[in-house]
Copies of this chain bind each other. A is one copy, B any other.
Amino acid sequence: VVLVSPRNPLNIGASARAMANFGFANLTVVAPFAEHWREAKSAVGAPDLLKNARETTSLAEALADSTLVIGTGTLMHRNPEQPVMPLPQLAPLVADELCRGGRASIVFGPEKHGLTREDLSYCHVLVEIPTDERQPSMNLGQAVALCLYELIRSNPQNEGRHPTSQRNKEAEFKGTSAELDRLAGVIIEAMRVSDYSPRSMAKANEHDLRLILRRLQFKRGDLRRGLGLFRRILRRLQKAGPPAN
């Protein structure tokens, strides 16, 4: 479970409690408000998983090891840039990933506005909680409880809790978020060096590339090859010097 900049200590506590209720242990908090975060961690009865939570400054860092990243929201006002699935369909997707030895993260945004467009660009899939359109916005602690409940719902004994040990081949592994970011970095550099598009487009291209790489479901071997190819291309381009025109 990854909470991005949660504000209300009660919500942080409720999220951690729901994790304990459903047997989830790994909490990461991204760029929390220091004071509220301290308060949440030191609250009476705070579960161990909250005290031991990992803290990172960026979402990219929080997701580095993840092979499947799920963004959450209630109603997507903007046009979603990746597949949206209703919450009831989430469990099989996650179970599948864990069976393959992957690592899944489910990401929740700040209370006020939810995940930003940039946050969402790190997600492979978005999950939508089927709320009423007259009152779509859910409380953070409740949203966490719902999503985790859904993950253990059909098999409280196993799912979500004990990622099956790596029983499949290396070839089946999907790349982690950090590996995808590494490939993205080289591609972006190749774009820059080859003057692929005007500088003003660089940010938008970076954003789109992040989304595309996640959608493509690279396996590790693919990533290695892609990285090798783009590094080679990059070296050649750099040797060639700046464009002649």
**Which residues of A are at the interface with B, using a C-beta cutoff of 8 A?**
10, 14, 17-18, 20-23, 47, 74-75, 79-80, 83-88, 128-139, 141-142, 145-146, 149, 152-154, 156, 158-159, 161-162, 164, 167-168, 171, 187, 190-191, 193-196, 208, 212, 215-219, 222, 225, 228-229, 232-233, 236-237, 239-241, 243-244
Known: A153-B88, A243-B236. A162 touches B132 (CB 8 A): no
B162 touches A86 (CB 8 A): yes
- Choose from B80, B145, B208, B244 the contact partner of A239 (Cβ within 8 Å): B244
Measured in the bound complex, the distance between the Cα atoms of B225 and A239 in whole Å is 25
Number of copies: 2
- Report the separation of the CA atoms of residues A225 and B139 in the bound assembly, to the nearest whole angstrom: 39
Q: Given the interface contacts A191-B229, A232-B196, does A130 sit within 8 Å of B145 by beta carbon?
A: no
Please determine whether B158 and A130 come into contact, CB atoms closer than 8 angstroms. Answer: yes
**In the complex, chain B residues whose CB is within 8 Å of the CB of A215:** 217, 219, 222
Q: Could you tell me if B218 and A164 are in contact, using CB atoms closer than 8 angstroms?
A: no
Residue in B20, B142, B208 whose CB lies within 8 Å of A135 = B20
- A21-B137, A187-B229 given; name 12 further pairs at CB < 8 Å: A14-B141, A18-B138, A20-B132, A84-B164, A128-B162, A139-B145, A142-B145, A190-B233, A196-B228, A196-B229, A216-B222, A217-B217
**Bound CA–CA A116/B181 (angstroms):** 36
* Chain B residue, CB-CB nearest to A165: B84
**Are A17 and B222 also in contact (CB < 8 A) when A158-B86, A164-B84 are?**
no
| Residues in B neighbouring A138, C-beta threshold 8 A | 17-18, 21, 145
Q: What 4 pairs across the A-B complex have the smallest Cβ distances?
A: A240-B240, A20-B135, A130-B156, A142-B145
What CA separation (Å) do A63 and B103 show in the bound complex? Answer: 46
> In whole angstroms, how far apart are the Cα atoms of A159 and B84 in the complex?
13
